[in-house]
Structure 1
Amino acid sequence: MIERMLRSPVNAVRRAGGFQLLITLEHAPARVDDLVLECVRRFTEVHGTDAADISTGAAADAHHIGELLIRAYAQAGSTSRRSEILDILDELLLQGAYGVAEAVRKAERA
């Protein structure tokens, strides 16, 4: 069901609770690294550089994306998966996605 929602058109994702999905993934007790990657890929596909523009809803969601990627990195079972996550983090950092740098700094301090 989540995968179907992520593949929906942008407006359908928003109406279906795209933001709530991010919160749900943050609080999920199980491994969610696969879902996080799919969610983040869709987020970057749909929002692109809007994640760096504080006047957009994408920027508000970007800080959740950063924290989810850090969690996915910790849960990743392979070196290739960790590398993929780091590549996405790098891309978001280069774009200046709101809150992602702070998520990385928090993870470094932990």
Structure 2
Amino acid sequence: MLQIEADLSMMEITYAITLLAPNFAAFIQGLVNEEVFDTSEEDKQEDLRRVAQGQFSPLLSELCAHVDDVADIEGVIRTICTDIVEEKEKKSNDRSKDYGKRCKGSGRSACQGIIQYRYCGI
């Protein structure tokens, strides 16, 4: 216990107080509906852009290079991924209506194993 107290006394204590509102009533009045922060449409547009233009993973690129019997295999894969993003958005909207909840995001992870994006440096 003494060692801990000694260590704490040697540490520099720095903190800042952030004033959120002058009183509790003002704080409550300042709260907004979660829909203000809904970015699902922007997320969907970004997902569609990445599906259309994103770089394939090295493994998928290698596999596509060996496909001879399907014309434009890259285009076929991108079409499937676009359908997945669109379908996920549709399901998200249906869920929102059914349960009164707004589901954030769209197809961000739908094709993550197929097309590299967000966390893969694209």
- TM-score normalized with structure 2 length: 0.26
Q: TM-score, normalised by structure 1?
A: 0.28
Q: As a proportion of its length, which structure holds more helix? A: 1
Structure with the larger RCO, 1 or 2 (CA within 8 Å, 6+ apart): 2
Q: Which has the larger radius of gyration?
A: 2
